[in-house]
Every structure is written in C-alpha cells, then in structure tokens.
C-alpha cells in the first residue's frame, strides 16, 4: 500500500466514542501577498495528538511520537511521494491562495468615518474627540490626528474590532485643549481609498457667543416691545384727550 493510500485510509477511519480517532490537517501559511513565504504543512494526528508532520520548508516527514518516528521513516523512503508532497506548496497552496485573493482578499470596502465630540471641556478641562471608522474591509487601517497640519503623537487608539460580518471598526480618541483658530483633523488611510480621507472638527458655537446673540435678540425684542407700548400709550392719550375736548365744548 502506498503512503498516499495509507493516509487516505487512516484519515477516514474512526472508532467508537471511547475508541480511536485519526485525522489529517493540511495548512497553507503565508504573510506576503506575493506568496514568497508560503509554507505547506500536513499534520497527522492520533487521538488529538500530533504524531507525524510534513513541512515544505523541511522537505520531509518528522515524527513526534515513537510510532510517529517509524511512520515518518516509512514515508521518507518513498522519494516519489516526497516529491509529490513538496510540490503541494505550489499545486495546492499557491493555486488556492490566488483564487482566494481574487475572490476575497483583493475586495476592499471603504470605511464610514464619523468625528464626534465625546466630552466638552472648558478653560480648566480638556476636550475629548473621537474619530470612528465603521464597516471597512480588509482589517488593516491607519488613523491619526492633525493639528494645523502637524501629526499629533499623544492619542488613544482602540484595537481593530470585527463586526462579525466580515467587516471591521476602529476608533481613535484625542484629548486636547483647543486654541482659537486652530484646525484639528482626523486622517484615515485604507486600501479602499485612493488618497487619505481627512475630516475636520467643527467646534460648536461658544457659550459666550450664544449668550451674546441671545442678549442681542432679547435687546432687539425689548426695543420693539417698547415702541409698541409707547405707540399704544400715545394713541390712548390722544383718544382720551379728544373725548375730554368734546365734552368741554
């Protein structure tokens, strides 16, 4: 029996619930988009214990138990089978990784960016701004802050969190004391964007400005009300005077 047939037979063999269990676990591991560090690993497990493993970087089987050492020696004697296993890194791993990359990895979804004021400060307390990016893919994203065009180093950024639907979200917070006339911006860089996305913070109207506007409005209303009251008094005075004159004549 050839090693390939032996693996196939063992991989489908299972015993009772309290008996024996054998499984195979093929893996394709890589970190670069051009697959230059691609590794093919095939692990043979018996009762959840790995006994034998083939690693394409090693180029042969290695045993990890007494029986696994004997099995590895048996497989390694078959040079044709070893060549077949070494070729799996291209035939199986790279081939499927290219299909996977075209279908999923290369698809990018733009993030939805929201800039919000979390905590309003005053002369003695700083402000807290939060920049949030939602529903983007893939996971890699870069978020940072600018103050008048200069990168701010003292920020708090959360980890990128999965939404559970293949999309991700990330948040970055900035604690600062605002200065008059300065420009504060959140910058987001993602593979779905052709250039960095910049969103500026627009501070709310200051309280003293609102009070001034309110007082101005109240002052204008008071002036109008005063004119109306004066006019009504004058009309009443004229009407009363004319009646008195009629009565005298």
pLDDT of residue 165: 82
Query: What is the pLDDT confidence band of residue 157, given thresholds at 50, 70 and 90?
Result: confident
Read off the pLDDT of each residue in 190-201 and give the average, rounded to a whole number. Answer: 93
Query: What is the pLDDT confidence band of residue 129, given thresholds at 50, 70 and 90?
Result: very high
Q: Say whether 108 sits in a helix, a strand or coil.
A: coil
pLDDT of residue 231: 56
CB-based contacts of 97, cutoff 8 Å, min separation 6: 28, 30, 35, 38
Fold of 3-105: 3.10.320
pLDDT of 244 strictly over 50:
no
Share of the chain above pLDDT 90, in %: 49
Q: Give pTM, 2 decimals.
A: 0.46
As a whole number, the mean pLDDT across the chain is 79
Domain-by-domain residue ranges, the chain?
3-105, 112-200
Helix and strand element counts for the chain (H, E): 6, 13
Tell me the CB-side half-sphere exposure of residue 178, using CA atoms within 13 A. Answer: 19
pLDDT of 144 strictly over 50:
yes
pLDDT of residue 208: 38
C-alpha 106, offset from chain centre: 17
Query: What is the pLDDT confidence band of residue 233, given thresholds at 50, 70 and 90?
Result: low
pLDDT of 90 strictly over 70:
yes
Equal CATH topology for 3-105 and 112-200? no
Tell me the CB-side half-sphere exposure of residue 52, using CA atoms within 13 A. Answer: 22
Quickly list H helices, the chain.
3-11, 66-76, 79-86, 88, 95-100, 207-248
Query: What is the pLDDT confidence band of residue 67, given thresholds at 50, 70 and 90?
Result: very high
For the domain spanning 112-200, the CATH number is 2.60.40.10
pLDDT of residue 153: 82
Share of the chain above pLDDT 70, in %: 72
């Amino acid at each position: 029996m050839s090693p390939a047939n032996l693996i196939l037979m063992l991989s489908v063999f299972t015993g009772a619930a309290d008996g024996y269990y054998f499984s195979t676990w093929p893996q394709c591991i890589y970190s670069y988009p051009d697959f230059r560090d691609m590794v093919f690993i095939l692990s043979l497990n018996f009762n959840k214990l790995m006994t034998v493993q083939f690693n394409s970087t090693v180029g042969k089987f290695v045993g990890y138990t007494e029986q696994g050492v004997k099995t590895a020696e048996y497989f390694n004697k078959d040079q044709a089978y070893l060549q077949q296993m070494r070729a799996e890194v291209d035939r199986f791993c790279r081939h499927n990784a290219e299909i996977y990359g075209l279908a999923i990895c290369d698809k990018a979804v733009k993030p939805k960016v929201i800039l919000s004021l979390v905590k309003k400060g005053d002369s003695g307390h700083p402000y807290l701004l939060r920049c949030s990016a939602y529903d983007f893919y893939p996971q890699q994203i870069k978020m940072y802050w600018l103050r008048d065009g200069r990168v701010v180093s003292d920020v708090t950024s959360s980890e990128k969190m999965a939404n559970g639907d293949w999309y991700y979200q990330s948040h970055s917070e900035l604690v600062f004391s605002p200065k008059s006339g300065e420009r504060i911006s959140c910058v987001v860089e993602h593979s779905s964007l052709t250039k960095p996305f910049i969103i500026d913070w627009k501070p709310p109207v200051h309280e003293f400005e609102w009070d001034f506007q309110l007082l101005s409005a109240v002052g204008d209303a008071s002036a109008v009300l005063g004119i109306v009251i004066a006019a009504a008094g004058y009309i009443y005075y004229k009407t009363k005077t004319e009646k008195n004159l009629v009565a005298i004549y």
